[in-house]
Chains A and B, each alone.
Chain A
């Protein structure tokens, strides 16, 4: 038998999951593993399908946990035999306890940054006038090198803009985030993905701050969501 594992915690109660359908419609329960416990359901045969229903089920269960306590949410598709799960928790007890202490009393809030008229600005950057154009008399080799130079300058500019935007966001959120995890993708439309670990009591203050930040940067779109279980702050070094 294999278990589908949603999250681990030290303050999980079965009552929070009563009547809740898990992945594959399975009944959700809390499995005690000593000091810690896991929220699990029976796993179906084979791999877990990445589909809307299962994604929502995984998130629904972890959201139910989050309503009562801050758990360590597992990645979608995590499954383990009961004895293997027990071994994992026992052999990583100290690291898991530290990870729980790190997120205790907090939730994850998410911000994604997109540039308005992103396509136009990226295109003009790559084809930018500032870097010059090939003289009409230039040969194929010169044209190739100039094209390469424009591409490199475009990538460099995109990287700088992503770093600047991420730094602006981090500075704006400031002390409201206990921790920040940011990922930059300069060449993509969503060029900054930031996750903030925010104390529950400060979530409204955090939202107000983001509204102020969004108003200050009409060149950016801020896609915000949360509260989430702390997916970005849960992994442990093994």
Chain B
């Protein structure tokens, strides 16, 4: 159960980072009307071209996911001998 909850948290984190990456420095700009304040500085690096900040998170989550897939595929294989 704890593992499942952890997995959900990770997916949630990735989803938020992807959202951040899409909505913060892309999209239609109505000249001079984008007004934002960065309250949670953990999420972004600030410049006017705001970029995805938590690359390490992406790398870690993908690594975890790959390890889980590998583990599951090993379990699925019948043991030899």
- Give the shortest distance, in Å, between A9 (CB) and chain B (any CB): 11
Residues on B with beta carbons closer than 8 Å to the beta carbon of A195:
26
Interface residue stretch chosen among A12-20, A48-56, A122-130, A202-210: A48-56
Q: Do most interface residues of chain A lie in helix, strand or loop, or is the interface mixed?
A: mixed
Q: A167 to B19: give the CA distance in the assembly, Å.
A: 25
Interface residue stretch chosen among A24-32, A74-82, A154-162: A74-82
Determine if B27 and A56 form an interchain contact, defined as CB atoms under 8 angstroms apart: no
Proximity string of chain A (32-57) to chain B, C-beta cutoff 8 Å, 1 when within and 0 when not: 00000000000000111111100110
Proximity string of chain A (211-238) to chain B, C-beta cutoff 8 Å, 1 when within and 0 when not: 0000000000101010010011011101
Proximity string of chain B (22-33) to chain A, C-beta cutoff 8 Å, 1 when within and 0 when not: 111111111101
- B79 at interface (Cβ–Cβ under 8 A)? no
Contact of B34 among A75, A112, A114, A232 (CB under 8 A): A75
By CB atoms of chain B within 10 A, which of A49, A72, A85 has the most? Answer: A49
- A190 at interface (Cβ–Cβ under 8 A)? yes
Residues on B with beta carbons closer than 8 Å to the beta carbon of A228:
22
Q: A190 to B58: give the CA distance in the assembly, Å.
A: 9
User: Given A76-B23, A78-B30, A51–B39 Cβ distance below 8 Å?
Assistant: yes
- A5 at interface (Cβ–Cβ under 8 A)? yes
Residues on A with beta carbons closer than 8 Å to the beta carbon of B27:
73-76, 78, 231, 234-235
A-B contacts, CB under 8 A, total: 126
Residues on A with beta carbons closer than 8 Å to the beta carbon of B33:
5, 78-80, 84
Q: Do most interface residues of chain B lie in helix, strand or loop, or is the interface mixed?
A: mixed
Determine if B39 and A75 form an interchain contact, defined as CB atoms under 8 angstroms apart: no
- B18 at interface (Cβ–Cβ under 8 A)? yes
Residues on B with beta carbons closer than 8 Å to the beta carbon of A49:
36-39
- B73 at interface (Cβ–Cβ under 8 A)? no
Number of interface residues of B (CB under 8 A): 34
Q: A75 to B29: give the CA distance in the assembly, Å.
A: 6
CB nearest neighbor in A for B40: A51
Residues on B with beta carbons closer than 8 Å to the beta carbon of A221:
59, 62
Chain A residues in contact with chain B, CB under 8 A?
Answer: 5, 7-8, 46-52, 55-56, 58-59, 62, 72-80, 84-85, 88, 99, 108, 110, 112, 114, 118, 188-190, 193, 195, 221, 223, 225, 228, 231-232, 234-236, 238
A-B contacts, 16 listed (Cβ < 8 Å) = A46-B37, A48-B35, A49-B36, A49-B37, A50-B24, A50-B43, A59-B19, A72-B28, A75-B26, A75-B28, A76-B23, A190-B52, A193-B21, A221-B62, A235-B28, A236-B28
Give the top 10 A-B pairs by smallest Cβ distance, nearest first.
Answer: A75-B27, A77-B36, A47-B37, A231-B26, A76-B23, A189-B55, A49-B39, A47-B35, A231-B27, A234-B28
